């Protein structure tokens, strides 16, 4: 056993530490509207090859296996689980859940970039425009939708059509259309916090359309999509990751003990 044992086990501890961070973030967002849990993916590192597979012996017969010693592990990516979260009924007119694929399109007033979210807790700002219910930034729905001040009821249909009822008018009047966006690779979206995502080269360009069209999901008024984090599974992953971290730390201790024994032999 050489000093390489210490470095190899250290890569395992570092990888498990990253996985613990991912699990902790999943558990922290267990009640975050529209949150999608992440998973840490791993890959083995380079190998120290002492004997190549297929090397011929003295009789010129190729060996079946070689001697290759791995040098550890590393995190390759964190992958998002895009499965639908449970729909929770709220009864609030400005709450909408996306049932199926797609993201709400919103405009960031600071960067002027289009952003995307699964959180449909909408509200009305001081100008009568529909916005994402945030205490930090007033992000408008894109395209913008204006709600009259005298509106007594707001109806958002499954295809995204927004209508209001006004005093003295027996019928609903259409005020705008909610659009959704979908991506060929939603895992490639950049997470920027506050339930928001940004388009990247990995996600591909957005494909905006009305809900229910081109494979997009539909809207469910009076509902919100809950986080898709499964607490029991996360706790199991937490325990197994903790044990893996402990075993790697024990490998470090074992390597240190062997080196100490070798050092003592030299003294003797």
Task: Indicate if 168 and 233 belong to the same structural domain.
Answer: no
Query: Would you say 165 and 153 are in contact if contact means Cβ atoms under 8 Å apart?
Result: yes
- The answer to whether residues 61 and 25 belong to one domain is yes
Q: Which one, of 186, 188, 178, 167, lies nearest residue 209 by Cα?
A: 178
| Structural domain containing residue 120 | 87-222
Contact 8, 255 (CB under 8 A): no
Based on the fold, state whether residues 97 and 76 are members of the same structural domain: no
| Secondary structure of residue 130 in the 3-state scheme | strand
Same domain flag for 93 and 206: yes
Same domain, 140 and 254: no
Domain count, the chain: 2
First to last CA, the chain: 20
Residue 54's φ and ψ, nearest 5 degrees, are 90, 0
Question: What is the DSSP-derived secondary structure letter of residue 60?
Answer: S
Between β-strands 87-89 and 207-209, what pairing exists: parallel, antiparallel or unpaired? unpaired
pLDDT at residue 64, as a whole number: 81
Residues 73 and 92 reside in one and the same domain: no
Is 146:154 a contact under the CB 8 Å cutoff? no
Cα(213)–Cα(225) distance, integer angstroms: 20
pTM of the predicted structure, to 2 decimals: 0.86
Same domain, 132 and 68: no
From first to last of the 268 residues of the chain, give the pLDDT tens digit. 567 888 999 999 999 999 999 999 999 999 999 999 999 999 999 888 888 888 887 778 887 888 888 899 999 999 999 999 999 999 999 999 999 999 999 999 888 899 999 999 999 999 999 999 887 888 999 999 999 999 999 999 999 999 999 998 888 999 999 999 999 999 999 999 999 999 999 999 999 999 999 999 999 999 999 999 999 999 999 999 999 999 999 888 888 788 777 777 766 5
Tokens (6 digits) for 178: 């909610």
Same domain (yes/no): 183, 126: yes
Q: Are residues 98 and 215 both part of a single domain?
A: yes
Instruction: Clarify whether residues 116 and 142 are in a common domain.
Output: yes
Tell whether 78 and 136 lie within a shared domain.
no
Nearest to 102 by CA among 40, 200, 189, 28: 189
229-256 tens-digit pLDDT: 999 999 999 999 999 999 999 888 888 7
Are residue 78 and residue 93 in the same domain, yes or no?
Answer: no
């Amino acid at each position: 056993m050489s000093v390489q044992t210490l470095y190899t086990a250290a890569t395992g501890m570092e990888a498990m530490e990253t996985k613990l961070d991912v699990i902790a973030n999943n558990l922290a967002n267990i009640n975050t509207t529209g949150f999608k849990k992440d998973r840490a993916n791993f890959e083995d590192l380079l190998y120290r090859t002492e004997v190549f597979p297929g090397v011929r012996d003295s009789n010129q017969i190729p060996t079946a296996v070689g001697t290759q010693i791995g040098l550890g592990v590393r995190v390759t990516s964190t992958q998002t689980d895009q499965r639908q979260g449970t729909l929770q009924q709220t009864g609030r007119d400005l709450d909408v859940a996306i049932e199926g694929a797609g993201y709400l399109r919103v405009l960031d007033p600071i960067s002027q970039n289009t952003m995307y979210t699964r959180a449909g807790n909408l509200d009305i700002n001081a100008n009568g425009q529909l916005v994402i219910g945030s205490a930090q930034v007033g992000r408008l729905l894109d395209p913008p939708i204006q709600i009259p001040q005298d509106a007594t009821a707001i109806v958002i249909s499954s295809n995204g059509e927004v209508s209001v009822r006004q005093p003295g008018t027996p019928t609903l009047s259409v005020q705008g259309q909610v659009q959704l966006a979908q991506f060929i690779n939603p895992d490639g979206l950049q997470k920027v916090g506050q339930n928001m995502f940004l388009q990247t080269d990995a996600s591909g360009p957005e494909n905006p359309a009305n809900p229910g069209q081109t494979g997009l999901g539909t809207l469910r008024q009076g509902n919100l999509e809950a986080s898709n984090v499964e607490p029991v599974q996360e706790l199991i992953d937490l325990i197994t990751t903790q044990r893996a971290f402990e075993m790697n730390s024990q490998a470090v201790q074992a390597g240190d003990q062997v080196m100490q024994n070798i050092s003592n032999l030299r003294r003797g």
